[in-house]
Amino acid sequence: MQVQRICENRGEEYVDEDVAGRLLSEAEKSERAGTEVNVRHYCGA
């Protein structure tokens, strides 16, 4: 199953809101466990 999409305006890959929420949840759990996490935030066009 392919979860990423391509932005028609900028040609960048992105994931939908549900997938982004799950990824954020996993990142937060990892951070609480002491794992270093680097999350990048992009502004919409």
Is-contact 30 37, C-beta < 8 A? Answer: yes
Give the pLDDT score at 44.
Answer: 66
Give the pLDDT score at 45.
Answer: 60
Q: How far apart are CA 32 and CA 34, in angstroms?
A: 5
Using H for helix, E for strand and C for coil, what is the string for the chain? CCCEEECCCCCCEEECHHHHHHHHHHHHHHHHCCCCCCCCCCCCC
Query: Could you state, in order of their start, the residue ranges of all structural domains in the chain?
Result: 1-45
**Per-residue pLDDT tens for 1-45?**
556 788 888 888 888 888 889 988 998 898 899 987 677 777 766
Give the pLDDT score at 29.
Answer: 92
Phi, psi of 44 (to 5 degrees): -70, 160
The neighbouring-strand residues paired with 8 are: none
